[in-house]
């Protein structure tokens, strides 16, 4: 089994398709599984001397636990490989989505440690999960959340590697990329032990309702982290996701406030950070009945947002929005994003911007793409055209990242981007070029915000 673990790790670490994006994660897994192999081997002589038959039963069970844990993680890392030749468009797009999600999570996590060559821990591994929503499994969670059989292994009593599970529907909805930042935040919260102190500190701002708010704070902190990192575009993406279940807008859960209240906390937080127009821009409407029934929580929302904004303990928790996010607020996505996608047909990396290695590029493009999809109803000739657009945008995010060029120019992502864009057709290209010309004409008469 040790040989098997080493062979798998060496294969992944030398795989040019995966580049070096998962080096830390794979090495961490190899260490955990190697420790298990060493422990089991060291116990065998004493067990065999005492009761050989019992020793056989014990080692068989332990090997099964170890194999289950290995299979669980090997399968999730394998999702990040380039699809085989001849794979369908869905497989290509799903691979690009995971790549883009990886780079977005990496860029945000790296921004928390600007003075270090590498973050202190490997960033979480994203993968497609069977559940309908996103979820995070942190280091201090039991592995039984992921794999009940594998969790019986001593070394896997706790999560060997942090995970972010993603439902497959997101691969067809590029605007949803920003939701990954919320799940990353859960790992940061646990890493900094904020879940131990912040619920009491922040819920105190809710006054008489602090008992209820205390159970909501960890999820709200994750929302606030994502809001600091991606601004109003994260709030718009979250609102789009929450509206899929109308009942959720006014219903409270043990760990989530009603969605109306949840969104109001984020809007109040952005206003405190200087976005005076966010409420008017997002137009998050609430019906009159809910205004009355949730009045006490809506009032507390502003107070909790203020408490988070003022907390000295959270000063290093907020990632600043990218300096060039102003480009996105100039409606990048309506004219400029269209033009970038068309330009990518001939030179994908040129479309990404300069420099392509800027750490904030995955966030910039994710914000721009969310704004394009959620800013207005977009018309597509057919489902195929919509899918091609989604694939092309994911390719832009994937190959714009610093991580995507760590080992040199990312030919794989660039080729995928170009191939996806070839299907746009000459008519679509001409229309996008006209859109670009109109957008640039407007931009020339307006000062950048």
Residue 76 pLDDT greater than 70, yes or no = yes
Phi, psi of 137 (to 5 degrees): -120, 110
What pLDDT does residue 347 have?
Answer: 42
Sequence-ordered list of residues with C-beta below 8 angstroms from that of 214, at least 6 positions apart, any chain = 199, 200, 203
Q: How confident is the model at residue 369 (pLDDT cuts 50, 70, 90)?
A: confident
Across the chain, mean pLDDT equals: 77
Residue 183 pLDDT greater than 90, yes or no = yes
Question: Once rounded to an integer, what is the mean pLDDT over residues 248-254?
Answer: 92
Per-state percent for the chain, helix, strand, coil, to nearest 5: 65, 5, 30
Phi-psi region of 72 (alpha: psi -120 to 50; beta: other; left: phi over 0): alpha
Residue that wins the pLDDT comparison between 2 and 47: 2
Question: Once rounded to an integer, what is the mean pLDDT over residues 178-182?
Answer: 95
Residue 95 pLDDT greater than 90, yes or no = no
Residue that wins the pLDDT comparison between 101 and 442: 101
Question: Once rounded to an integer, what is the mean pLDDT over residues 246-251?
Answer: 90
What pLDDT does residue 114 have?
Answer: 75
311-345 as b/e: b if 16+ CB within 10 A = beebeebbbebbeebebbbbbbbbbbbbbbbbbbb
Q: Which residues of 206-283 form beta strands (DSSP E)?
A: none
Sign, CA torsion 389/391/395/398 = positive
Task: Count CB atoms within 10 A of the CB of residue 255.
Answer: 11
Q: Report helix, strand or coil for 5.
A: helix
pLDDT > 90 in the chain, percent: 28
Sequence-ordered list of residues with C-beta below 8 angstroms from that of 216, at least 6 positions apart, any chain = 203, 255, 256, 257, 262
Residue 313 pLDDT greater than 80, yes or no = yes
Least confident span in 46-60, 121-135, 347-361, 363-377:
347-361
Q: How confident is the model at residue 338 (pLDDT cuts 50, 70, 90)?
A: low
Sequence-ordered list of residues with C-beta below 8 angstroms from that of 285, at least 6 positions apart, any chain = none
Residue 351 pLDDT greater than 70, yes or no = no
Residue that wins the pLDDT comparison between 149 and 436: 149
Residue 97 pLDDT greater than 50, yes or no = yes
What one-character-per-residue DSSP string does 159-221 give? -SS-EEEE-GGGGG-GGGGGHHHHHHHHHHHHHTTHHHHHHHHHHGGGGGGHHHHHTTHHHHH
Q: Report the distance separating Cα 104 and Cα 261, nearest Å.
A: 27
Least confident span in 134-138, 176-180, 296-300:
134-138
Q: Report the distance separating Cα 186 and Cα 181, nearest Å.
A: 9
Residue that wins the pLDDT comparison between 39 and 121: 39
What pLDDT does residue 345 have?
Answer: 42
Residue 278 pLDDT greater than 70, yes or no = yes
Question: Once rounded to an integer, what is the mean pLDDT over residues 212-230?
Answer: 96
Residue 30 pLDDT greater than 80, yes or no = yes
Nearest CA-CA partner of 133 in 94, 170, 99:
170
The domain limits of the chain are 325-445
Least confident span in 69-83, 380-394, 411-425:
411-425
Q: Report helix, strand or coil for 80.
A: coil
Q: How confident is the model at residue 414 (pLDDT cuts 50, 70, 90)?
A: very low
Residue 405 pLDDT greater than 80, yes or no = no
Q: How confident is the model at residue 164 (pLDDT cuts 50, 70, 90)?
A: very high
Residue 184 pLDDT greater than 90, yes or no = yes
Residue 203 pLDDT greater than 90, yes or no = yes
* Distance set, CA 246 to CA 61, 102, 249, 251 (Å): 47, 30, 5, 9
Residue 49 pLDDT greater than 70, yes or no = yes
Residue 5 pLDDT greater than 70, yes or no = yes
Give every strand in the sheet of 135-137, ordered side by side: 125-128, 163-166, 135-137
Sequence-ordered list of residues with C-beta below 8 angstroms from that of 252, at least 6 positions apart, any chain = 212, 258, 261, 297
Q: How far is CA 254 from the centre of its chain?
A: 24
What pLDDT does residue 423 have?
Answer: 38
**Ranked by mean pLDDT, which of 131-135, 295-299, 403-407 comes out on top?**
295-299
Residue that wins the pLDDT comparison between 358 and 300: 300
Q: Report the distance separating Cα 76 and Cα 407, nearest Å.
A: 22
**Ranked by mean pLDDT, which of 114-118, 292-296, 354-358, 425-429 comes out on top?**
292-296
Assess whether the previous peptide bond of 355 is cis (omega < 30° from 0): yes
């Amino acid at each position: 089994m040790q040989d098997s673990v080493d062979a798998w790790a060496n294969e992944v670490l030398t795989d040019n398709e995966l580049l070096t994006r998962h080096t830390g994660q794979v090495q961490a897994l190899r260490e955990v599984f190697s420790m298990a192999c060493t422990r089991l081997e060291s116990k065998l002589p004493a067990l065999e001397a005492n009761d050989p038959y019992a020793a056989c039963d014990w080692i068989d069970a332990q090997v099964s636990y170890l194999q289950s844990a290995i299979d669980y993680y090997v399968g999730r890392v394998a999702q990040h490989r380039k699809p085989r030749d001849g794979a369908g468009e869905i497989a290509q797009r799903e691979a690009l989505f995971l790549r883009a999600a990886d780079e977005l999570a990496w860029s945000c996590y790296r921004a928390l440690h600007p003075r270090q060559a590498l973050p202190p821990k490997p960033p979480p591994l994203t993968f497609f999960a069977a559940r309908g929503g996103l979820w995070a499994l942190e280091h201090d969670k039991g592995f039984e959340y992921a794999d009940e059989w594998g969790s019986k292994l001593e070394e896997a009593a706790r999560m060997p590697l942090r995970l972010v599970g993603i439902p497959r529907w997101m691969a067809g909805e590029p605007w949803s990329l920003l939701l990954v930042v919320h799940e990353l935040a859960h790992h940061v919260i646990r890493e900094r032990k904020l879940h131990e102190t912040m619920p009491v500190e922040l819920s105190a701002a809710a006054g008489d309702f602090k008992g209820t708010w205390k159970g909501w704070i960890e999820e709200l902190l994750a929302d606030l982290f994502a809001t600091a990192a991606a601004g109003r575009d994260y709030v718009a993406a979250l609102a789009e996701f929450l509206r899929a279940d109308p009942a959720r807008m006014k219903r409270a859960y043990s760990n989530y406030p009603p969605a109306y209240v949840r969104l109001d906390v984020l809007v109040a937080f952005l206003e405190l950070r200087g976005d005076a127009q966010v409420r008017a821009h997002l137009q998050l409407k609430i019906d009159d009945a809910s205004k009355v029934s949730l009045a006490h929580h809506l009032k507390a929302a502003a107070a909790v947002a203020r408490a988070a904004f003022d907390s000295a303990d959270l000063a290093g928790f907020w990632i600043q929005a990218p300096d060039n996010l102003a480009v996105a607020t100039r409606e990048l996505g309506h004219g400029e994003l269209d033009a970038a996608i068309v330009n990518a047909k001939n030179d994908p990396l040129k479309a990404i911007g300069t420099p392509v290695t800027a750490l904030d590029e995955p966030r910039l493009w994710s914000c721009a793409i969310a704004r394009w999809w959620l800013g207005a109803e977009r018309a597509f000739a057919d489902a195929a055209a919509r899918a091609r657009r989604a694939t092309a945008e994911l390719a832009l995010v994937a190959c714009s990242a610093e991580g995507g060029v760590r080992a040199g120019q990312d030919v794989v992502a660039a080729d995928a981007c170009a191939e996806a864009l070839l299907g746009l057709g000459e008519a679509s290209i001409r229309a996008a070029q006209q859109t670009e010309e109109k957008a640039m004409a407007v931009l020339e008469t307006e000062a950048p915000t």
